[in-house]
């Protein structure tokens, strides 16, 4: 029988995706060595199976296997958990204690969510990986351990390195052999198999008839993005098996269990110290203002190079833009000029060579920006009032209509002092 099939059966792995098969093959190949392995993948993709495969096919299979969730241990006690402590080393240390690296000597230790480790712990871990040496908390005695380390993360460690939250040397030491577990949306052929497995298991457990998906429901199931991956798929399968009375599930029924997945739109990143990120509507307003300003600048440059007999390149790259003629606007009579000028000192009248009257707008960018901002605010107020009136004062529905969160809507109402 196929070795790959036997491995899947032994560890309860469901799926025939080429990506999944390739990841299992790498785990089996690297298992006999002592190289450090870093398993990378989104939350819920099944990363926890691969350290077990590596340990079971290694020479350490008769030694201890310890799985540690680094994100679940408080920062103040993580060093004690991993490396142990001496009696009296901190408040509550009433006795000496061995850490996981000491207990797992000769075996394998799996560090899940390794990206959540504090920087001080990362230094200790790096030393263990490079020399096999560590010290208990509160001790100056150097101890030795022989442990195979397999780590996993759903975080982008390269970004964490750039932000100073993860050590670059530790990253390269951990990722000697990287194994990437693809998200469920990239393993569509595995989705029907997993769904059938989960729904059948829960039906047998609670003695209810199994459910069956119609063709349109199966299409929806396979093409859904599954942001929670296998964990989310299992929840949906179990919920429908228990809750739905009709054992034939169509697309409309399935849709009730699938939260809407927003498309991957460009996101404006801000520093964590910012009090409030721009929402999408504010982003659109900003882009429109910037676009209008750019168009006005282009118009000005075109007029300037025409009047000055300069080439477009000269007009674009002239250091002193003030020396170029201002933007002209023609008018027909004195009354038109008076209506245009409106007492504005920034607007003047001159005669051209052919005795044609021309109005020159010297500069008004700042005022225009201010007017545009006010106009956008008025539009936003109007949209908010209309949305709330449309939904009879139900602010949650109004927020959905506007494409913003309910919290943002409440903030806008307070900011604009709207009586709605």
Q: What are the distances in angstroms from CA 269 to CA 170, 261, 276, 277, 405?
A: 27, 20, 11, 8, 18
Average pLDDT (344-358) is 48
Residue 329 gets the label, from left (phi > 0), alpha (psi -120 to 50) or beta, of: beta
Domain 3-182 has CATH 3.40.50.300: yes
pLDDT interval class at 133 (50, 70, 90): very high
Q: Which of 43-52, 111-120, 172-181, 267-276 has the lowest mean pLDDT?
A: 267-276
Residue 324 confidence (pLDDT): 46
Task: Say whether 155 sits in a helix, a strand or coil.
Answer: coil
pLDDT score for 329? 46
Q: Residue written as tokens 């110290």?
A: 273
- Mean pLDDT over each residue of the chain, to the nearest integer: 81
Does position 336 have pLDDT exceeding 70, yes or no?
A: no
Neighbours of 366 (CB within 10 A): 8
What is the reported pTM? Answer: 0.61
Q: 21-25, 88-92, 244-248: lowest mean pLDDT where?
A: 88-92
Residue predicted with more confidence, 213 or 326? 213
What's the pLDDT at 276?
42
Annotated domain spans of the chain: 3-182, 185-255, 281-367, 373-416
> Distance between CA atoms of 150 and 300, rounded to whole angstroms?
62
Four-CA torsion 84, 90, 92, 98, nearest 10 degrees: 10
Class of domain 373-416: mainly alpha
* pLDDT of res. 319: 46
Average pLDDT over residues 285-299: 71
Q: Under CATH, what is the fold of the domain 185-255?
A: Helicase, Ruva Protein; domain 3 (1.10.8)
For residues 46-60, give the mean pLDDT: 96
Confidence of residue 274 (pLDDT cuts 50, 70, 90): very low
């Amino acid at each position: 029988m196929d070795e790959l099939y036997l491995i899947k059966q032994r560890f309860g792995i469901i799926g025939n995706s080429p990506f999944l098969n390739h990841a299992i093959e790498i785990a089996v190949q690297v298992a006999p060595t002592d190289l450090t392995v870093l398993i990378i993948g989104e939350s819920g993709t099944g990363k926890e199976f691969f350290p077990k495969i590596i340990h079971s096919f290694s020479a350490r299979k008769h030694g201890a296997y310890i799985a540690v969730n680094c994100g679940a241990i408080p920062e103040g006690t993580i060093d004690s958990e991993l490396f142990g402590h001496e009696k009296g080393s901190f408040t509550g240390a009433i006795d000496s204690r061995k850490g996981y690296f000491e207990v797992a000597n000769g075996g394998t230790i799996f560090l899940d969510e390794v990206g959540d480790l504090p920087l001080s712990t990362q230094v200790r871990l790096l030393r263990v990986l490079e020399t096999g040496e560590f010290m208990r908390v509160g001790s100056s005695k150097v101890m030795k351990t022989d442990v195979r380390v397999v780590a996993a993360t759903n975080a982008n460690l390269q970004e964490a390195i750039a932000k100073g939250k993860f050590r670059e040397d530790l990253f390269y030491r951990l990722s000697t052999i990287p194994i990437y577990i693809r998200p469920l949306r990239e393993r569509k052929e595995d989705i029907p198999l997993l769904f059938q497995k989960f729904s059948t298991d829960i039906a047998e457990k609670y003695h209810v008839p199994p459910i069956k998906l119609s063709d349109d429901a199966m299409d929806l199931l396979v093409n859904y993005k599954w942001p929670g991956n296998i964990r989310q798929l299992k929840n949906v399968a179990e919920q429908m098996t228990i809750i739905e009375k009709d054992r034939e599930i169509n697309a409309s029924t399935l849709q009730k269990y699938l939260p809407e997945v927003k498309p991957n739109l460009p996101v404006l990143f801000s520093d964590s110290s910012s009090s409030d990120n721009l929402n999408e509507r504010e982003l659109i307003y900003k882009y429109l203002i910037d676009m209008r300003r750019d168009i006005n600048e282009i118009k000005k440059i075109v007029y300037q190079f025409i009047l000055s007999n300069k080439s477009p390149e000269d007009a674009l790259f002239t250091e002193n833009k003030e020396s170029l003629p201002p933007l002209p606007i023609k008018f027909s009579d004195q009354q038109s000029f008076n209506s245009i000028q409106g007492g504005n000192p920034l607007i003047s009248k001159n005669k051209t060579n052919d005795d044609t009257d021309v109005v020159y707008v010297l500069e008004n960018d700042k005022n225009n920006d201010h007017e545009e901002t006010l106009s956008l605010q008025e539009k936003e107020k109007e949209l908010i009032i209309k949305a709330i009136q449309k939904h009879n004062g139900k602010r949650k529905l109004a927020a959905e209509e506007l494409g913003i969160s309910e919290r943002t809507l409440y903030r806008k109402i307070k900011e604009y002092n709207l009586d709605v």
